[in-house]
Structure 1
Amino acid sequence: MGIFVLDGGFFTTVQDLGRWGVQKDGVPVSGVMDDFASRLANFLVGNEANEAVLEITMLGPTLRFEIGTVVAICGGEFSGKLNDQSVPLWQPFMVQPGDILAIGACRIGYRGYVAVSGGLHVPLLMNSRSTYTKAAIGGFYGRPLQKDDELSLRPAPCLPEWQPSWGIAFSIRQYINSQEKVIRAVEGPDFHTFTKESIEHFFTEVYEVTTQSDRMGYRLRGQKLQRSVDQEIVSEAVTFGTVQVPASGDPIVLMADRQTTGGYPRIAQVLAVDLPILAQARPGDRIRFQPSSWQEAQRLYIQREREMMYSRAIICQKWREINGANRFKL
């Protein structure tokens, strides 16, 4: 007993932070595309960062709640209504048994995350609840949600007696807003096998996200890239944000459902802190790559994690004030 799906939306799946540790067996990591938004959504409802959430794409689902709980929606600017009343984004709100949450179209960005206090009760598969639809494994029967599905919920740790009136500051959400997204990247293992002109093009030209993009990879359209050497590439490990260049010359940025290894030359690697920006790009959006360094990538990653833990501590304090108890080990 938990959530009854009245409409599954365009592409709604159960995801957590990924299925790590089994890439050696050929199993993709999967997990959320935008871990920044999903983690904050979980914190807002009193969950730990890795609780399973609903990842919604472009058009959200319509859900009827069978029990009372706390919900938060983070990510892209989706329209949302609870019993025909608008609900805030990036802020926790209460739902009661019988309430209907309808999440409409995304106005800005592309993906949103629905976190429910306690988390979704779906089976663990290889220590993850993430859905990998290409193999039909994980999540809710390995597929997107459909009409008449029923999701069970785990016990909710946070059930306040009044609606919370706090949330995430608008300034923190600004990474979603631009249609031309600046994505920082470092040199990939095969960077120096590309021509000087191609390297210059990669870091100066604008690329467009094509309609052939999905959770596995973003196919980009723009200035074609060429290599200065003609040699085969041995398949090697790839990760979230690896930029590959196939024979067509059009870059592909690997995303959450990426394969575990790849044989295309790797011109660049997107910085981890910019992956949420990329995850919110929709077909037609423009991407401009900006050169960075491994030192800057590490510094920015540490800075973001500190800011994330600071946000978590502030949210935890808010829940303490409501519940009168310490829910987290800080």
Structure 2
Amino acid sequence: MEISIIKAGLLTTVQDCGRYQHLAEAIPVSGAMDQLAHRLANKAVGNNDNLATLEFTYANASFKALSPILIAYSGDGALLTYNGEVMPAEKPLFFAAGATLTFIHNPHGVRTYLAVAGGWEVPEVLGSKSTYLPVKFGGFEGRKLAAGDVLRSSEAISTVAAAIMQQLSSKALIYPNWRISRESLLPLDRKTIRVVLANEFSWFDASSIIAFLTKPYQIALRSDRMGYHLSGKAMVRKTKKELLSTAVTPGIIQVTGNGDLVILMADCQTTGGYPRIAHVAAVDLPLCAQLKPGDEISFTEISSDEAEELYLQQEHDLLLITNAINIKYTNTI
């Protein structure tokens, strides 16, 4: 399966679930910012969760199918259209060679993921196909996509993907009558981010902690795949302690020297010297991935046990989705 990029949009890169095995060597995780949307797009076409997808930032992108293709998309950054009709998200979509598809504006988010049966075929670098733009490795030639680029899927597709494609192509259907409900996996309130207080939260005075957990913050213009800078009440220290550079991961909320907050995201550094006030619960990182400059968010504290329970419940739900698709098309789990 093969596509040609007509218009690449603002920022489109190849991403998978990231390269966690090289953190000790100062290699960032990278990978999809919205891991949930990335995984659901893959599940919808019968892929393994970690296969490479295309991460589109905002809309204004289009591509042409150079061969029959089985794809799926997920995320709030854009809506996929064909012949002027919006295609449903989180379900397999079959198109014949020659079809032209366009991502149009969706005001609800930033990032959208396009999966193809078999995953997008690019070289693996340090155990991952994810693009890390600052040093230009991984993904498609270590760069963002551009008009004229041709991408191909792996020739090895799963039994489930083959069954879905055979059903849709033989019946001249674009998509089946089922879809994955991403909404059921997300909280109703997408602007309240659940956090676990981190190692250095006690370094700040009571009024700062209260403000952090009760007052809104705004996503600043200076925000990207490395981190989101927040505008709001500055944090005030009650200690002169200094932090030696220590481990950080995506989801950590740091406090800069002038008291501002930064949420570290997928391309963040592996160590840092700013105090860590909190860590975003893993299930809410996809919410952060869809935030854009000007959006307001609030934080609410949960315990590490609660964060773990939420994560395990979501993983259980995702496993049920995989099993349901497998049973439908192969009668196996």
Point out the more displaced range, 223-232 or 261-270. Answer: 223-232
Structure 1 residue 132 corresponds to structure 2 residue 132: yes
Whichever residue aligns with residue 303 of structure 2, its letter is S
List per-residue Cα deviations over 1:86-120 (Å, max 9, x = no partner).
Answer: 31112211011111111112221111111111110
Quick check: 1:4–1:148 contact (8 Å CA) kept in 2?
yes
Whichever residue aligns with residue 307 of structure 1, its letter is D
Shift of 1:65: 1.2
Secondary structure at 1:41's aligned position in 2?
A: helix
Structure 1 residue 305 corresponds to structure 2 residue 315: yes
Please tell me the root mean square deviation across aligned C-alpha atoms, in Å.
1.6
Point out the more displaced range, 150-159 or 119-128. Answer: 150-159
In 2, distance between residues paired with 1:316 and 1:61?
Answer: 32
Residue 169 of structure 1 is matched in structure 2 by: 181
Residue 44 of structure 1 is matched in structure 2 by: 44
Residue 295 of structure 2 is matched in structure 1 by: 285
Whichever residue aligns with residue 93 of structure 2, its letter is F
In 2, distance between residues paired with 1:247 and 1:232?
Answer: 10
In 2, distance between residues paired with 1:61 and 1:252?
Answer: 29
Whichever residue aligns with residue 252 of structure 1, its letter is V
Shift of 1:66: 1.2
1:96-107 superposed matches below 5 A: 96-107=96-107
List per-residue Cα deviations over 1:58-85 (Å, max 9, x = no partner).
Answer: 1152111112121111010622212433
Identify the match of residue 166 of structure 2 among 160, 169, 189. 160
Residue 171 of structure 2 is matched in structure 1 by: none
Quick check: 1:77–1:106 contact (8 Å CA) kept in 2?
yes
Shift of 1:174: 5.4
Any gaps of 5 or more consecutive residues in structure 2? 169-174
List per-residue Cα deviations over 1:127-182 (Å, max 9, x = no partner).
Answer: 1000011111100111111001111211244313323221023642655x86x610
Residue 296 of structure 1 is matched in structure 2 by: 306
Whichever residue aligns with residue 184 of structure 2, its letter is I
In 1, distance between residues paired with 2:22 and 2:15?
Answer: 17
Quick check: 1:12–1:56 contact (8 Å CA) kept in 2?
yes
Point out the more displaced range, 83-92 or 235-244. Answer: 83-92
Shift of 1:319: 2.7
Structure 1 residue 30 corresponds to structure 2 residue 30: yes
1:211-290 superposed matches below 5 A: 211-290=221-300
Point out the more displaced range, 133-142 or 84-93. Answer: 84-93
Residue 318 of structure 1 is matched in structure 2 by: 328
Residue 210 of structure 1 is matched in structure 2 by: 220
Secondary structure at 1:319's aligned position in 2?
A: helix
Identify the match of residue 202 of structure 2 among 192, 197, 210. 192
Any gaps of 5 or more consecutive residues in structure 1? none
Quick check: 2:185–2:314 contact (8 Å CA) kept in 1?
no
Shift of 1:38: 0.8
List per-residue Cα deviations over 1:15-56 (Å, max 9, x = no partner).
Answer: 000011111111111000111111111010010000000111
In 2, distance between residues paired with 1:26 and 1:174?
Answer: 32
Quick check: 2:77–2:290 contact (8 Å CA) kept in 1?
no
Secondary structure at 1:134's aligned position in 2?
A: helix
Secondary structure at 1:107's aligned position in 2?
A: coil
Quick check: 2:219–2:292 contact (8 Å CA) kept in 1?
yes
Whichever residue aligns with residue 216 of structure 2, its letter is V
Whichever residue aligns with residue 89 of structure 2, its letter is L
Over 3 Å counting, the alpha-carbon distance change for 1:161 and 1:303 in structure 2 is closer
List per-residue Cα deviations over 1:192-218 (Å, max 9, x = no partner).
Answer: 111111111110110000110101001
Point out the more displaced range, 256-265 or 59-68. Answer: 59-68
Residue 172 of structure 2 is matched in structure 1 by: none
Using the size of structure 1 for normalisation, the TM-score is 0.93
Whichever residue aligns with residue 272 of structure 1, its letter is A
In 2, distance between residues paired with 1:8 and 1:298?
Answer: 38
Shift of 1:301: 0.9
Count of aligned positions = 321
Secondary structure at 1:12's aligned position in 2?
A: strand
List structure 1 runs of 4+ shifted beyond 4 angstroms: none
Using the size of structure 2 for normalisation, the TM-score is 0.92
In 2, distance between residues paired with 1:279 and 1:60?
Answer: 19
